[in-house]
Amino acid sequence: MPTNAKQQNSQLIRGFVPYQETKGEEYMSDRMRAHFTNILNKWKQELMEEVDRTVHHMQDEAANFPDPADRASQEEEFSLELRARDRERKLIKKIDETLQLIEDNDYGWCDSCGVEIGIRRLEARPTATLCIDCKTLAEIKEKQLGS
* Residue 134 marked as a ligand binder: yes
Q: How far apart are CA 53 and CA 146, in angstroms?
A: 37
* Residue 63 marked as a ligand binder: no
Long-range Cβ pairs for the range 127-133 (8 Å, 24+): 127/40, 127/91, 127/94, 127/95, 127/97, 127/98
The one-letter amino acid code at 99 reads L
Strand partners for 109: 116
* Residue 12 marked as a ligand binder: no
Q: How far apart are CA 117 and CA 132, in angstroms?
A: 7
Q: CB–CB of 43/124 below 8 Å? A: no
* Residue 38 marked as a ligand binder: no
Known binding-site residue numbers for Zn(2+): 110, 113, 131, 134
Known binding-site residue numbers: 110, 113, 131, 134
